Amino acid sequence: AQSVSQHNHHVILSEAASLELGCNYSYGGTVNLFWYVQYPGQHLQLLLKYFSGDPLVKGIKGFEAEFIKSKFSFNLRKPSVQWSDTAEYFCAVNVNSGGYQKVTFGTGTKLQVIP
Amino acid sequence: SAVISQKPSRDICQRGTSLTIQCQVDSQVTMMFWYRQQPGQSLTLIATANQGSEATYESGFVIDKFPISRPNLTFSTLTVSNMSPEDSSIYLCSVYRDSGNTIYFGEGSWLTVV
């Protein structure tokens, strides 16, 4: 069974600082990878996804993530964070197993950006 | 994208009662899922709702506690049975779109059991 690890549970940054959130997964086969964001009191929104091709994917709001297959990693980055990026970020991996899709989420990272 | 409507959006329920959450999607989808997000925690997959057959439950979740229906390709229900305070959570419906390889989420149903 697949699993997802997010190493940082709570990150506090000042505005304009650079962000990198770690995500590692365990699964030996082909995966689709996602980052979702959940702003306070709101539902999950897709930030970006990877399923094939260029391992560097760009998402909304200036976020990007790089898939490094050899490291089973899909870290999220943003060069300069804003106060409005304060939210919880979830990494997820989708596995197609026997025709069924199964998405497993990491435990989430709470990002707090200080003005 | 997919438009997913969940009802109710919030409810306060008495211990021992049951509540059914509805999920309506704006177009046909192959896969529908139900997740739970307990306070301060990540999302946990409860089950995959299969159209025309019994849902596929994840370890730790059983049909007697979380019966699921999926009568067609755009609609599903999740019932939380015999509720206890430990069932207080956000319950999320999600769908998988083959085109775009993406999972979409409803806004969630926030249940509080008192």
Q: Do A90 and B45 touch (CB under 8 A)?
A: no
Count chain A–chain B contacts defined by CB atoms under 8 A: 48
Encode chain B (114 residues) as per-residue pLDDT tens digits: 678 999 999 999 999 999 999 999 999 888 899 999 988 788 899 999 988 888 999 999 999 999 999 999 999 999 999 999 999 999 999 998 777 677 888 889 999 999
Contacts of B96 in chain A (CB under 8 A): 94, 101, 103
Give pLDDT tens digits for A10-34.
Answer: 999 999 999 999 999 998 788 889 9
Q: Name the CA radius of gyration of chain A, rounded.
A: 14
**Which structure tokens are listed for B62?**
């059983």
B60: left (phi over 0), alpha (psi -120 to 50) or beta: left
Q: Is B92 on the interface with A (CB under 8 A)?
A: yes
Strand pairing category for A3-5 and A24-26: antiparallel
Task: Give the chain B residue nearest A6 (alpha carbons).
Answer: B42
Going by C-beta distance under 8 Å and a sequence separation of 6 or more, which residues neighbour residue A25? A2, A3, A4, A5, A31, A33, A72, A73, A74, A91, A93, A104
Residue B21, strand partner residues:
B78
Residue of B41, B42, B58 to mutate, interface with A, max A Cβ within 10 Å: B42
